[in-house]
Structure 1
Amino acid sequence: MRKGNLELFKKINRDLVLETIRSHQPISRAKVAQRLNFSRSTVSSIVDELIAKKFVVETGLGSSTKEGGRRAIELGFNPKSGFGVGVELTAAGLLVCITDLDGNVMRKERWDAGSDFKTIYDCILASLERASVQMDTVIAVGFCIPGLTNSKKGIIVDAPELGWKDVPFVEEMKKFLDKPIYVNNDVNCAALGERWVGGAKDLDDFIYIYIGLGSGVGSAIVANGNLVHGKDFMAGEIAYLIQEEDVSRNRVNAAGEFGVFEKKVSGKSLAENESSVQALFQGYEQGDPRSVQTVNRFVTHLSIGIANMVSLLNPEMVILGGEVAGYLKPVLNEVRSNVSRMTPIQTTVEITAMGPEAGVLGVIAYAFDQEQNVI
């Protein structure tokens, strides 16, 4: 057997043993071997390696056997064996988040700072120090970007909010930070955050729809457990969804302009005739005729968009996120009813329960997923 193939098999076995310990802890070496149908010697060898790397710890003696035999040493996963750093970049500054391997937040801190590379690096160092986390225990650093990113090449293709276009972000950041570095779009990151520690935890097929207070509307698609990027990393650009009535009125999408669907469901479009989205929904709940008409039209357009995506992708769940989602509770049942009526394919529609840190947690999960070979 070639050396490369042998190393691959070793890694697969190592991942299986670690995941079994993580999922069934506390568990003995013998029970791990039994679950995986591995020899005890193979499991013992792998466990010794994982203990040496501090990914696994011995938690104590288990219960006595029915026969009164010697009690086995039980094993547990050590989430503090490594840490991830997530950084969300916005026009207002940075959000730095540090978690252990289970997604437990060690520190979360906002920085009113610029987005030049040296400043970003200094903020990361300061946050690590305040969290009492050593840089050598950091497995990877992920960056959540409000714009189009080429996550494979580490390039920020277009981030108008930051004033960046075709920036080789990872290459530039590596001049300061000697760690594996990853970037991804903020909506994709929010979806991954939902899958790691949120409402879509462990789901393999779901859609995350982001509706911002401004002009922003987007979605992220997780299919068969994987984030769908698309050829040009533009999968999920629902701002460009279009219907027959749009075409008949010559409302079509053009590069550099707001999308047709975006003009119907974004926070900016909702607040066109009100001082804010909040004021609009307050008027809706108070029965103001104009507010009711605006919100009903929004609900119809949103429901059609969701129904079409559900028919195309057959997701287990659709999660509504972004600032506007916080106002949608009064109309959620109507959206659910509409979607159920518009497509025979069943799904559930939920409003995110995660706060604004969904994206920064998601990019940590993304970075961890890319760095599976560290174990």
Structure 2
Amino acid sequence: MTDAERGVVIDAPSLSWIQYPLKKEAEALFSWPVMVDNDVNVAVLGEQWLGAAKGKKHVVLISIGTGVGCGMLINGQLYRGATWAAGEIGYMVTDMVKARRADLPPPHEGYGFLEQYVGGAGIVQSMKQELKGHSQLNFSAKDVFQNAKDGDRAAVKVIDEVVDHIGFAVANMISIINPEVVLLGGGISRSADWFLPRMERTIQDFASVPAPVLPTALGENLGVVGAVSLVLRETESVLKEL
């Protein structure tokens, strides 16, 4: 969560940052104006400018990697929320029964319910539970996806649950925002062609209206292109010079 006005990172669990004055730190190093925002927020701006959401005004971009983030455009404008916490869908509950389990760590320890199941660390943990007593191998979330593609039963079971959680989250976002398109970014998007049919069935069953779900188009350049788009949008002098 990032306060874009003050340039302060309110909370970034993966970096152990709380109320970190990133803009102030950056301005001490650079002689030009500095803007700070959430990476998924700038990502959705980049996709609207030059990517899969070009020309669209109502867009949801969900990024899944180490954690889960979401950037939203409503009426063409980036929506950040009343306290800069809009799009924190990692806290979305996609299974009420599991959310009430006593053995799950509470969200305030750093990550929400959805992140605990579909983030990289969550996928690895689920796979370890599935293989408990049968394997001492070290593996990554990418390995679990590849094993599932190769037909490994344990990996397929884990990834099917991951995809279902994401599908319910996307269906909820479609029902709330009514976007023209939903984009999937982050490491998980590399496998989108493989798991989208299952996800689309979940969305069809539970979303209020249909909406296309596509992988982001800008790949590894997404963050950089989005940051440029942010500057162009919010620095009037730059726009006038172009």
Q: Which residue in 1 is equivalent to 2:58? A: 205
The secondary structure found in structure 2 opposite 1:270 is helix
Which of 67, 70, 78 in structure 2 is aligned with 1:219? 70
Pick the structure with greater CA Rg: 1
Q: Which deviates more from structure 2 when the two are superposed, residues 151-160 or residues 313-322?
A: 151-160
Q: CA deviation at 1:311?
A: 0.5
Larger strand percent: 1
Q: Which residue in 1 is equivalent to 2:186? A: 322
Q: Which residue in 1 is equivalent to 2:42? A: 189
**Shift in alpha-carbon separation, 1:158–1:282, aligned structure 2, 3 A:** closer
Q: Is the 8 A contact 1:191 1:359 kept in 2?
A: no
Q: Map Cα deviations across residues 210-242 of structure 1 (whole Å, 9 max, x no partner).
A: 111x3x111111111111111221111111111
CA distance in 1, matches of 2:175, 2:15: 35
**Shift in alpha-carbon separation, 1:291–1:240, aligned structure 2, 3 A:** same
**Shift in alpha-carbon separation, 1:160–1:260, aligned structure 2, 3 A:** closer
The secondary structure found in structure 1 opposite 2:160 is helix
Amino acid at match of 1:168: P
Q: CA deviation at 1:336?
A: 1.5
**Shift in alpha-carbon separation, 1:241–1:162, aligned structure 2, 3 A:** closer
Q: CA deviation at 1:161?
A: 5.1
Indicate whether 1:246 and 2:110 are aligned.
no
**Shift in alpha-carbon separation, 1:308–1:181, aligned structure 2, 3 A:** same
Q: Which residue in 1 is equivalent to 2:112? A: 259
Aligned residues: 226
Matches within 5 A, 1:1-375: 148-159=1-12, 164-212=17-65, 214=66, 216-242=67-93, 243-250=95-102, 253-272=106-125, 273=127, 275-374=139-238, 375=240
The secondary structure found in structure 2 opposite 1:292 is helix
Amino acid at match of 1:211: I
Measured on the aligned residues, the alpha-carbon RMSD in Å equals: 2.1
CA distance in 2, matches of 1:162, 1:296: 29
The secondary structure found in structure 1 opposite 2:123 is helix
Unaligned 5+ segments in structure 2 are 129-138
Larger relative CO (CA 8 A, sep 6+): 1 or 2? 2
CA distance in 2, matches of 1:257, 1:165: 11
Q: Is the 8 A contact 2:174 2:208 kept in 1?
A: no
The TM-score, its normalising length taken from structure 2, stands at 0.84
Q: Is the 8 A contact 1:181 1:367 kept in 2?
A: no
Q: Is the 8 A contact 1:246 1:252 kept in 2?
A: no
Q: Is the 8 A contact 1:240 1:261 kept in 2?
A: yes
Q: CA deviation at 1:182?
A: 0.8
Unaligned 5+ segments in structure 1 are 1-147
**Shift in alpha-carbon separation, 1:370–1:289, aligned structure 2, 3 A:** same
Amino acid at match of 1:234: A
CA distance in 2, matches of 1:293, 1:162: 31
The TM-score, its normalising length taken from structure 1, stands at 0.56
| Identical counterparts, % of pairs | 31
Larger helix percent: 2
Q: CA deviation at 1:162?
A: 5.1
CA distance in 2, matches of 1:292, 1:176: 47
Q: CA deviation at 1:186?
A: 1.0
CA distance in 2, matches of 1:161, 1:299: 23
**Shift in alpha-carbon separation, 1:255–1:278, aligned structure 2, 3 A:** closer
**Shift in alpha-carbon separation, 1:285–1:174, aligned structure 2, 3 A:** closer
Q: Which residue in 2 is equivalent to 1:6? A: none
Q: Is the 8 A contact 1:210 1:217 kept in 2?
A: yes
